[in-house]
Structure 1
Amino acid sequence: MASDELPVAAAATEEEDLVEILDEGSGRLDIARYVDHVRDLAAGAIATFEGTTRDSFEGRRVVELRYEAYGAMARRRLAAILREARAAHSLRRLAVAHRLGTVPAGEASVFVAASAVHRADAMEACRYVIDEVKASVPIWKKEVYDDGEVWKENREFLDRTTTDGTTASSPAPATRPAKGGGCCGRKVRVNES
């Protein structure tokens, strides 16, 4: 190595990626811990996504969201999503966390962090991870209003469901089409009480 060259640290491996599902009663997501986990001296960018409970939907006041999951399968799928993101992008470190149980308005329910040498890889990986979480991880959401509640099904999941009810495989991260529009128009009411 020439005297003016600095050694480059190796990127974290998938075993070092952080996948966390917090059971009900575990408290809030520790955003600073996830960002610190992906921090890397060789990274020029850290991209994050924080999904929060909004206080209204289609004119109704949202009190909270309630999440349920098939825990073991959800953890396996989250780890697989991070592997897919790693395969498609030049990344340093990754973290994904999701809360279960009750998440009041204003609090975070899901968090994704990705670090990379260049911002495009970090940002694209972050978007890929959250889109895949919504489309393929067995976590279900009930939106609770001050006047009722509704189970929600993500449009990303519906876009992948075939006419016979089976789920199509996920698109390759590098060829994934950009989605237009906001998330609100993509929600479907499943069961209203």
Structure 2
Amino acid sequence: MRRRTLEEKLEAIRLVEAGNSPRSVSDRLHIGHHQIYEWLYVYKEKGVSGLENKRICKKNQYSFEKKCEIIREYQESELTLPEISSKHGIASSTLVGWLSKFNKGGKDALASKQPSPREQSKSIMKRLPKEEWEKENERLRKEIERLRAENLLLKKVKALVEERESRNRRIGRGPLTN
């Protein structure tokens, strides 16, 4: 998802303030309606300066206690998700992630630091020596060749079965049970 410019955000807010619904504005500008609502709350609370793109903060900026406090506030107050996220300066998608973790695993799920998919792939995908890489590449080529041959064989078998069923229908026999 690309980051929107300040002008795009202000245009969306101007359209809503002109009487358009946030959903119609989101359809027109191809932006999620939740994002429009979030921008509206931030604009009302902090003005234009709140809408300016700021550098993304490091992950896990919030302590376990702070995450729990924000979730408790969301559950106990009448504030909406965009209002809570703008109040604390976090993306609503981040808050949704915390809520999902909390609902699935309780408070402990918020404390555990699981590596991101990118971090996981880095640890899994270690560079193989060239000889091993070539062996693995050759093994995969042979496997692809075998699967292609198997696929062709299955297509031929299917065609033969369909031809036999067609022939049986023409002569008035019912379909075979095999």
TM category, shorter: under 0.3
Q: Computing the radius of gyration over CA atoms, which structure comes out larger, 1 or 2?
A: 2
- Per the normalisation by structure 2, the TM-score is 0.20
Greater strand proportion: 1
Greater helix proportion: 2
Which structure is higher in RCO with an 8 Å CA cutoff and minimum separation 6?
1
- Per the normalisation by structure 1, the TM-score is 0.19
